Amino acid sequence: MIRRHVLPYVAAIALVALSGCGGVDRRDGAAGPASGTGGQPLRVGAAQAGSSSPPAAPSSPPAGEPSPGPGGASSPATDAGFAGHWHSAPWGDHYIVVQGTTVKIIYDHDQGRFLGTLSGSTVTGWWTELPSREPPGDAGEATFTLVQNPGGPSISGTWRYGVSGSPARGWDLAWIDDKIPEWVAKVFDDRSQFIAHP
């Protein structure tokens, strides 16, 4: 039997889950803001009425319960925009967590990892990939900007090998959902997986 004081939280969870169902799955690699779609930056942590942006986390958990972070660890909910499951046509699935101003990304291509710093709607940092996770061929700088398009949220990214040369466009991500698989959460918890910008 469900206790009466639990029902408001069950209803809130159901609403958050349903609100995430209206998004557009743009796995087809549709052009993002870097291609001139005219998207406007989405303010991180601010819900946009009528958008299919990722659902906002509840403002606080029930009394006595910590906010779950990756792997069940406690961490404050500071982001309602970047965190979740995204997809890039050339680079595969991306999982993003935000812990304060620290952003971590795990992505499919060459077991990629990214560690960066959040400032407003932009994240800057360092990506690494196998086999070496070292520049110039397997690591470099990247910048991601969260944007709101008429069809739903997206992330526009630029990257480069190492620290020199012009950044390349095209590391664009389309929103999938807010699910982080358990195995991914365990990788997020392993600090050795993420290398800071040298």
Helix H, strand E, coil C: the string for the chain is CCCHHHHHHHHHHHHHHHHHHHCCCCCCCCCCHHHCCCCEECCCCCCCCCCCCCCCCCCCCCCCCCCECHHHCECCCCCCCCCEEEEECCCEEEEEEEECCEEEEEECHHHEEEEEEEECCEEEEEEECCCCCCCCCCEEEEEEEEEEECCEEEEEEEECCECCCCCEECCCEEEEECCCCHHHHHHHHCHHHCCCCC
pLDDT at 53: 39
- Predicted confidence at residue 152, as pLDDT, reads 81
CA pair distance 165, 176, nearest whole angstrom:
32
- Give this prediction's pTM: 0.63
pLDDT at 80: 55
pLDDT band at 149 (very low <50, low <70, confident <90, very high): confident
Note the pLDDT of residue 187. 97
Mean pLDDT for all residues in the chain: 71
Kindly state the percentage of the chain with pLDDT values over 90: 56
Structure confidence at residue 150 as a pLDDT band (50, 70, 90): confident
Percent of the chain with pLDDT over 70: 60
Q: What is the pLDDT of residues 94-146, one digit of tens each?
A: 999 999 999 999 999 999 999 999 998 999 999 999 999 999 999 999 999 99
* Among the ranges given (46-55, 98-107, 138-147, 156-165), the one the predictor scored with the smallest mean pLDDT: 46-55
In this predicted structure, which of 15-29, 82-96, 99-113, 148-162 has the lowest mean pLDDT? Answer: 15-29
Average pLDDT of the segment spanning 178-192:
96
The pLDDT value given to residue 110: 97
